[in-house]
Amino acid sequence: EAQVTQNPRYLITVTGKKLTVTCSQNMNHEYMSWYRQDPGLGLRQIYYSMNVEVTDKGDVPEGYKVSRKEKRNFPLILESPSPNQTSLYFCASSRGRVTFGTDTQYFGPGTRLTVL
Amino acid sequence: AQRVTQPEKLLSVFKGAPVELKCNYSYSGSPELFWYVQYSRQRLQLLLRHISRESIKGFTADLNKGETSFHLKKPFAQEEDSAMYYCAPAKGGKLIFGQGTELSVKP
């Protein structure tokens, strides 16, 4: 089944403890992206990647890192999490650049992160 | 600055009533335009995109370049349309989501 998976789905951690949220897609998509969803703010893009070893900042990249060593994986890294990073995180992928207009973005199920 | 605005946080209508979810954007150039929907306990998914000129689940969206709007419309709302709807312009690899409008269709 074609899908985007994220792990873990739920995570409670403490300030400063490094964590990684994994994202994997099995559709051979070139484009992958991370978003955070907060009440009243909608979804905001954190980072995106056009292809392997190509990443770029979205609108809210501060405090996050990503890597794209393989086409299928796009982990989100929080080196030193803080309480303001408590949020619902979504990973997404699409066949090509989303701005082609024909490339549907497929979303993962979300990861709910709480930083105490 | 690139911005997208969905002025209504919550829109409540009765079944069978027309519905219009507003979206206004502020972009330089011409972005691609999308509507995404998130049903309860489900993943965010694409509802429709401007370039396809399509109608999905009875919804349509018309681009008004003069008003820079991309409102989502349906003539007769159904209870299963209750969900969170996001307008999303895209340009240069970036997809910017609006704050979302929660549509509640009452029986």
CB proximity list for B47: less than 8 A, separation 6 or greater: B34, B35, B36, B37, B56, B57, B59, B72, B85
Q: Tens-digit pLDDT profile for chain B (107 aa)?
A: 678 899 999 999 999 999 999 999 887 777 788 999 999 988 898 898 887 777 788 999 988 877 789 999 999 999 999 999 999 988 766 778 889 999 999 99
pLDDT at B30: 74
Residues of chain B contacting residue A59, judged by C-beta atoms under 8 Å apart: 94, 96
Residue appearing with tokens 């008003």: B67
Distance between A58 CA and the closest CA of chain B, angstroms: 7
Interface size, chain A vs chain B, as Cβ–Cβ contacts under 8 Å: 65
For chain B, which residues lie within 8 Å of any Cβ of chain A, measuring from their own Cβ? Answer: 6, 9, 31-32, 36, 43-46, 49-52, 86, 90-100
Cα–Cα distance, B85 to B56 (Å, whole number): 13
Contact map slice: A 26-55 vs B, CB within 8 A: 31, 33, 35, 40-45, 48, 50
Cα–Cα distance, A25 to A4 (Å, whole number): 4
Nearest of B2, B9, B27, B16 to residue B76 by alpha carbon? B16
The 10s digit of each residue's pLDDT in A26-69 is 999 988 999 999 988 888 999 999 889 999 998 899 999 999 99
Helices and strands in chain A, H and E counts? 0, 11
Say which of A40, A58, A99 has its CB closest to residue B91: A99
Inspect the interface and report whether the beta carbons of A41 and B50 lie closer than 8 Å: no
Residues of chain A contacting residue B43, judged by C-beta atoms under 8 Å apart: 90, 107-110
pLDDT at B100: 92
